[in-house]
Amino acid sequence: MLNAVQYLDHQDAAFPSPGQALEEPNGLLAIGGDLSPSRLLQAYRHGIFPWFNDGDPILWWSPDPRAVFAPDGITPSRSTRKRARRLGWHYTVNQAFEQVIAHCAGPRASDNSTWICPPMRQAYLNLHRLNLAHSIEVWEQNTLIGGLYGVSVGGVFCGESMFHIRTDASKAAFWALAIECQRLGVEMIDAQIINPHLLSLGAKSISRDTFLHQLAELRDKRVDWAHWQTEGRFDV
């Protein structure tokens, strides 16, 4: 029997099992519902995330395979290290979330569209205010030049998007994320859909079943992102 996409309503936050997701398009699981904090948290705790274009219904995904990183296995390239040190870059955590998501929502050089539409931006701002979504900011003096944001689920950080204004600044943000995840005790970074860029950064492709098993083991781990605002320098 072929899997069918389930339609969600606004009353019930329950999702179908990720194993019911379609093979084509890979991982499409459900349509509809809302972007309330409770539904988003329920989704991330079960390996599901929203991804849709502005004006379309909300689409929920759980792809197979999954792209993941181990924080202690992330090593920046020599060029990223040299550039960050030479230009005196530093990074902060949770000090400019709204600016970071605004940059991430901006059009790319090769594409004028964005999937981070106004409802999505507001949804993640709401999560940030609940200490559930977090940002890494990279600065050149007082100018924000790169960053990323994502959602914390216990011992897992679910990365959503990153941006750069200066060459290598998003890679530096990812390096900073790895440093802070190790300090906090985060054991896995979820990067969702595997692609060549993520592979170049050291991502591993694992099956959805393996990912869901690891997520279930880590999602209730106590990790104190709340009020975690720190500043670091790229001098290691």
The pLDDT tens digits of the residues spanning 168-185 come to 999 999 999 999 999 999
3-class secondary structure per residue, 157-189: EEEEEEEECCCCHHHHHHHHHHHHHHHHCCCEE
CATH code of the domain containing 207: 3.40.630.70
Q: Which of 9-18, 26-35, 67-76 has the lowest mean pLDDT?
A: 9-18
Closest CA to 95 of 59, 147, 56: 147
pLDDT recorded at residue 234: 79
Q: What share of the chain is helix, strand, coil (3-state, %, to 5)?
A: 35, 25, 40
Edge-to-edge strand ranges of the sheet holding 59-61: 6-8, 28-32, 59-61, 49-50
Q: Is residue 1 part of a domain?
A: no
Residue-wise pLDDT for 98-109, tens only, equals 999 999 998 765
* Whether 59 and 71 share a structural domain: no
Residues 40 and 59: beta-carbon distance below 8 Å: no
Residue 3's pLDDT is 74
- Looking at the structure, tell me whether residues 228 and 154 fall in a common domain: yes
Does residue 33 sit in the same domain as residue 73? Answer: no
Could you tell me if 41 and 76 lie in one domain? no
Measured over all CA atoms, what is the biggest interatomic distance in the chain, rounded to whole angstroms? 59
Same domain (yes/no): 193, 217: yes
Distance CA 64, CA 22 (A): 10
For 174, half-sphere exposure in the C-beta direction (CA atoms, 13 angstrom radius) is 30
Question: Residue 1 — very low, low, confident or very high, per pLDDT cuts 50/70/90?
Answer: very low
**Which pLDDT value is given to residue 107?**
72
- 140-162: average pLDDT: 97
Same domain, yes or no, for 103 and 166? yes
Q: Are residue 53 and residue 80 in the same domain, yes or no?
A: no
Other Cβ atoms within 10 Å of 45 Cβ, number: 18
CATH code of the domain covering residue 31: 3.30.70.3550
* Opening angle at CA 233, ends 228 and 236, nearest 5: 115
In a domain, 160, yes or no: yes
Q: Are 105 and 33 in the same domain?
A: no
Same domain, 33 and 20: yes
Domain with 217, as residue range(s), is: 67-233
pLDDT digit string, tens, across residues 110-140: 555 567 999 999 999 999 999 999 999 999 9
pLDDT tens by residue, 20-48: 999 999 999 999 999 999 999 999 999 99
Residue 229 maps to a domain: yes
Asked if 41 and 107 sit in the same domain, the reply is no
Q: Domain check: are 92 and 202 in the same one? A: yes
Residue 115 confidence (pLDDT) = 74
One domain for residues 17 and 93: no
How many domains are there within the chain?
Answer: 2
Find out whether 147 and 100 touch, Cβ atoms under 8 Å: yes
